[in-house]
Amino acid sequence: MHKIVKDYYGKTLQSSADLKTSACCDSSTMPAWLKPLLARIHPEVLSRYYGCGLVCPSLLEGCRVLDLGCGSGRDVYALAQLAGPKGEVVGVDMTDEQLEVAKGHQDWHSEAFGFDNVRFIKGYIEKLDELNLEPGSFDVIVSNCVINLSPDKAAVLEGVHSLLKPGGEFYFSDVYSDRRVPDAVREDPVMYGECLGGALYWNDFLQLSKDAGFADPRLVEHRPLEITDDALALKAGNLRFFSATYRLFRDDELESACEDYGQAVIYHGTIPDNPHRFILDEHHVIETGRVFPVCGNTWRMLKDTRFADHFTFIGDFDHHFGIFKGCGSSMPFNESAPVESLPSPLSASGVVLASPAPAAKGGSCC
């Protein structure tokens, strides 16, 4: 599979316009704060963007960030601006042609930003331990539409867990399916290269994450993908695909379920670009100033991480009140979200992304 993927991203595709579907090309509404960051990125880098989501979590200033499957570097250069001169962003990719574009514009970007805090490394994301990266040294690891392309997703998640600092997070967008992808679809080179064939069934992904030490994966946003290309739709049959962004915190104290200890948090409104609310995930939109009930895991995701200074924490773990209301294990994706056509040329060929599903108001979990 590595060779097929290298050829696809190194030779077959020359720009985002060459994609046969839009699974690997994000159409989510771009937040206003991202626009000036992208405006400072070289056009050739932007033209070779093949991501499926937004991988810019809040509060990155001074952070050490790793981008798995960085491609030509769009996200690395956007994150570099957020991490600032005291932070660092490292991009890893296995495809020479992609890395050449990324590295070729490094001087241009350091001049535009006024600092150089990026580094690109050639390597496989299944073998992160071979890249001379210090274990436990990254605050945040991101990835945009890459894990589905990996033939060994368990190894990727284990490597990520080992490279993250305690309290660090893996924040990544990828493609998932509503059931296991049959071999005939997985082995189709176009389906695989276009980020569909290697998509993980969502429940297998959750289990793999837990096996790698990420006890409570949180869904940040998702949208269904509709296959509009007749030939690809025929191959996919009844399979449904979703683009989704998850955040996985490295915290050994997280429990396997959301337990209720009667705790609550109050958000101070102090995270840059988040004055009115902080969105932890689809079920936790935490309004500034409101006493917001949380389960023990959510408490820890805020208290044991870089977000701690921005919250007041009410309660402790002394009293247990059972499972947190609303905790469940059904499919996390909303299949009935309205599907929105993309402007051409992306909608003309293969897959259509719907608007992100609306986030819940809070109070429930998982």
Ligand X SMILES: C[S@@+](CC[C@H](N)C(=O)[O-])C[C@H]1O[C@@H](n2cnc3c(N)ncnc32)[C@H](O)[C@@H]1O
What secondary structure does DSSP assign to 192-261, as a single string?
Answer: HHTTSTTPEEHHHHHHHHHHTT--S-EEEEEEEEEE--HHHHHHHTT--EEEEEEEEE--TT--SS-B--
Q: In whole angstroms, how close is the CB of 186 to ligand X at the nearest point?
A: 15
Tell me: does residue 350 bind ligand X (CB under 6 A): no
- Tokens 């290309």 — which residue? 229
Closest CA to 70 of 35, 109, 99, 106: 99
C-alpha distances (whole Å) from 107 to each of 65, 74, 77, 112, 276 are 19, 15, 12, 9, 37
Q: In whole angstroms, how close is the CB of 345 to ligand X at the nearest point?
A: 18
Q: In whole angstroms, how close is the CB of 152 to ligand X at the nearest point?
A: 8
Candidates 81-89, 142-150, 174-182, 330-338; binding stretch for ligand X (CB under 6 A): 142-150
Task: Give the bridge partners for 259, in sequence order.
Answer: 323
Q: In whole angstroms, how close is the CB of 14 to ligand X at the nearest point?
A: 13
Tell me: does residue 9 bind ligand X (CB under 6 A): yes
Tell me: does residue 95 bind ligand X (CB under 6 A): yes
Chosen residue from 20, 22, 50, 82 binding ligand X by CB under 6 A: 50
Q: Which is nearer to ligand X, 191 or 365 (CB)?
A: 191
Chosen residue from 79, 90, 93, 350 binding ligand X by CB under 6 A: 93
What secondary structure does DSSP assign to 288-347, as a single string?
Answer: BT-EEEE-HHHHHHHHSSTTGGGEEEE--SS---SBPTT---S--S-TTSPP-PPPTTHH
Question: How many residues lie near ligand X (CB under 6 A)?
Answer: 25
Q: In whole angstroms, how close is the CB of 53 to ligand X at the nearest point?
A: 9
Q: How far apart are CA 144 and CA 172, in angstroms?
A: 6
CB 271 within 8 A of CB 306: no
Residues 278-307 that bind ligand X (CB under 6 A): none
Tell me: does residue 202 bind ligand X (CB under 6 A): no
Q: In whole angstroms, how close is the CB of 154 to ligand X at the nearest point?
A: 13
Tell me: does residue 118 bind ligand X (CB under 6 A): no
Tell me: does residue 24 bind ligand X (CB under 6 A): yes
Q: Which is nearer to ligand X, 142 or 294 (CB)?
A: 142
Residue 219, token pair as written in the block: 């869904």
Q: In whole angstroms, how close is the CB of 346 to ligand X at the nearest point?
A: 14
Chosen residue from 65, 118, 128, 146 binding ligand X by CB under 6 A: 146
Q: Which is nearer to ligand X, 4 or 279 (CB)?
A: 4
Tell me: does residue 248 bind ligand X (CB under 6 A): no
CB 135 within 8 A of CB 163: yes
CB 271 within 8 A of CB 323: no
C-alpha distances (whole Å) from 342 to each of 94, 190, 221 are 30, 21, 18
Tell me: does residue 117 bind ligand X (CB under 6 A): no
Q: In whole angstroms, how close is the CB of 27 to ligand X at the nearest point?
A: 13
Q: How far apart are CA 53 and CA 28, in angstroms?
A: 7
Which residues form the interface with ligand X (CB under 6 A)? 2, 5, 9, 24, 49-51, 69-71, 74-75, 93-95, 98, 124-126, 144-146, 149-150, 195
